[in-house]
Structure 1
Amino acid sequence: MAGRVLSSELAKTSIQQIQSIINGGLTDQISQLDSQGKTLSDPNVWDGPLAEKFRSGTWPETKSALDKALSELEELRGQLQQISTNIMSAGGGS
Structure 2
Amino acid sequence: MATRVLSTEQAKTAISQMQAIISGGLAEQITKLDGQGQTLSDSNVWDGPLAEQFRGQIWPDTKKALDRAQEELGQLREQLNKISQNIMAAGGGG
Q: TM-score, normalization: structure 1?
A: 0.88
- Between stretches 3-12 and 35-44, larger displacement belongs to 3-12
| 1:1-94 paired onto structure 2 within 5 Å | 1-89=1-89, 92-94=91-93
Q: After the TM superposition, which segments of 4 or more aligned residues of structure 1 sit over 3 Å from their partners?
A: 87-90
What's the Cα RMSD here?
1.5
Could you tell me how far 1:48 is from its partner in structure 2? Answer: 0.9
Q: TM-score, normalization: structure 2?
A: 0.88
Could you tell me how far 1:89 is from its partner in structure 2? Answer: 4.4
- Distance in 2, matches of 1:26 and 1:42, equals 25
**CA contact 1:27–1:70 (8 Å) conserved in 2:** yes
User: Greater relative contact order (Cα 8 A, min sep 6): structure 1 or 2?
Assistant: 1
Gaps of 5+ in 1: none
- Distance in 1, matches of 2:29 and 2:36, equals 11
Could you tell me how far 1:43 is from its partner in structure 2? Answer: 0.8
Query: Percent identical across equivalent pairs?
Result: 66
Q: How many residues align?
A: 93
